[in-house]
Homo-oligomer: A and B are copies of this chain.
Amino acid sequence: MSNHAHAAAVELFEHHRGLLDRAVQAIGERDYWSPFPESLKHYPEEAVKGAQSAFEGLLGRHFALAGPESVARVGAERSPYGFDLGVSYDQYDAEALMTRMQAALPAWRDAGPRARLGACLEMLQRLNALSPTLAHAVMHTSGQAYMMAFQAGGPHAQDRGLEALAYAWRAMAEVPETARWTKPQGKQEPLVLDKRWHIVPRGLSLVIACSTFPTWNTYPGLFASLATGNPVMVKAHPAAILPVAMSVRVAQEVLAELGFDPALVSLVVDTPEAPVSQRLALDPRVKLVDFTGSSAFGDWLEANARQAQVFTEKAGINSVIIDSVRDFKAVARNLAFSLSLYSGQMCTTTQAIYVPRGGIRAADGFLSFDEVAQGLAGAIRCFLADNERACAVMGAIQSEATAQRIQACRALGEVLLDSEAREHPQFPGARVHTPLLLKVDASARHAYAEERFGPIAFIVATDDSAHSLRLAGEVIGEKGALTLGVYSTDDAVLDRAEQLSQEVAVALSINFDGGVFVNQSAAFSDFHASGGNPAANASITDGAFVSRRFVTVQSRRQALA
């Protein structure tokens, strides 16, 4: 790295400094804040209009990135909306890649926090400008509907990236770069040392992306590692490479312009037949692993990647407890949207809804268990009656395995609402299925207390709300969860729920019957996962998410007399 490069990166830091300072303020205050607009109206008209063709221009071609010599080309992404993307990507020899990234580390480390933050902030700004096009890539890999793919894959993902930068900057800035240490010695001359502290990265970072949120779940680890000095291999899910590759390209462009090796952020691709994550995760040079995906592989990483700090987000049994309500119709509408959004493929979507079999109190009277169950089924049916709206909310089912799971789960309980295949108005080949809602008894834990990923939910009949709370606590304690919703007009129940949420370290949402949903998580305000139950061993994003990515190394020099 030349001094010029360093100066240019620090200039970018100064340029974006206001944004960073505002982000640091935001994580301290935790009110709503987002620098990246979630409405397409705020993006340049030509960028929005040209997004579709820009995306199409990427299809059926090789996607070139910086890296060592290519040893193979892979890529077999198929849109959940029914067509092959036809994009190929370079595979590198793992040894060659890691050797190159290790060689690039010292310059990136020595550039220091300001230069690294400058580069990372610039990457986010450019990613934001790319959002309308990125949205198509997210849509046609994850299956999210366009609007969600735009928001969750674009500005909301960028928010999460910036949030990670804010945490990283705050943590690094807590350590002064230098200090003079002067210890009085009574009447004698004081002892004086000149001290320096260096932020030293852990080593190579491996970020293993998922197929459902290829950017939202990837940016926090990517930016937290990169800002703290660690070169990052982003291992894309074979079904959702393109949005990751586009993100890596933006990062590489910024790095190259600043005179750093663009391979400091490298794309790693593989195939379902020959996965590479295990081997990479065990390499002694890999000191950080971020993973979003199955509990099986997440648990394996935690158990085996012992040389690394491992951050996992895995499966869980997100739950809702209905004790009593002010307005059942509003509750049902809220839950209907929650369960339909992206066909239940969010890591925060509710799976188990606990309802006393004796029914619940509502402001306007009493509702039997069946009235609650049928009311919810009806609300979903009603919400999805307009097929165009339904498809715009549900999107498509990401994988065939999830579509098959819906069918397989029909036998697990009494069907309250059957899943239907739907025809997508624009994409006739799209894999669209409405939610399956089942009724089960509390004793059927084998049914509802295993993660059933996809649009599959259970209404669980319990003895009473105390039983609901106890059951939810047991299941979450054992299997984990990212979200717990509670509906109650009884302060004692809410107090108990608040206690329970601490006991099993799950985020609690109380009486959501309006325009906010239990499965939504807002950057700069909501901690996504707590790291305290089996659904995730880390929060995205908190202090512990960044502080483990670097160490502080000091030097102290006896001051010359």
User: Is A187 located at the chain interface by the 8 A CB criterion?
Assistant: no
In the bound complex, CA of A547 to CA of B531 (Å):
12
Contacting pair A510 B547 (CB below 8 A): no
Contacting pair A552 B557 (CB below 8 A): no
Counting chain B CB atoms within 10 Å of each CB, the highest count among A306, A501, A554 belongs to A554
Which listed residue (B185, B193, B530) contacts A552, Cβ 8 A? Answer: B530
Stretch at the interface among A204-212, A237-245, A519-527: A519-527
Instruction: For chain A, residues 523 to 556, give those with C-beta under 8 angstroms from any C-beta of chain B.
Output: 525-527, 530-532, 539, 542-544, 547-548, 551-556
On chain B, the residues within 8 Å of A302 by CB distance are 306
Contacting pair A553 B31 (CB below 8 A): no
User: Is A509 located at the chain interface by the 8 A CB criterion?
Assistant: yes
On chain B, the residues within 8 Å of A539 by CB distance are 551-552
Stretch at the interface among A46-54, A142-150, A174-182: A174-182
In the bound complex, CA of A548 to CA of B539 (Å):
11
Contacting pair A526 B554 (CB below 8 A): yes
A303 to chain B: closest residue by CB = B306
**What is the copy number of this chain in the assembly?**
2
User: Is A116 located at the chain interface by the 8 A CB criterion?
Assistant: no
In the bound complex, CA of A527 to CA of B554 (Å):
7
Contacting pair A532 B198 (CB below 8 A): no
Contacting pair A174 B28 (CB below 8 A): yes
Main SS of chain A's interface residues? mixed
User: Is A392 located at the chain interface by the 8 A CB criterion?
Assistant: no
- What's the interface size class on A, roughly? 35 or more
A12 to chain B, nearest CB (A): 24
A108 to chain B, nearest CB (A): 12
User: Is A516 located at the chain interface by the 8 A CB criterion?
Assistant: yes
Contacting pair B306 A543 (CB below 8 A): no
User: Is A415 located at the chain interface by the 8 A CB criterion?
Assistant: no
Instruction: Please give 17 more A-B residue pairs, beta carbons under 8 A apart, in addition to A303-B306, A532-B551.
Output: A28-B176, A31-B179, A32-B183, A106-B499, A174-B543, A181-B525, A185-B515, A195-B525, A508-B556, A509-B555, A509-B556, A510-B555, A511-B558, A514-B558, A527-B554, A530-B553, A539-B552
- Chain A residues engaging chain B, CB cutoff 8 angstroms: 27-32, 106, 109, 170-171, 174-176, 179-185, 191, 193, 195-198, 200, 202, 302-303, 306, 498-499, 501-502, 505-516, 522, 525-527, 530-532, 539, 542-544, 547-548, 551-558, 561
Which 3 pairs, one residue from A and one from B, show the smallest C-beta to C-beta distance? A532-B551, A508-B555, A510-B557
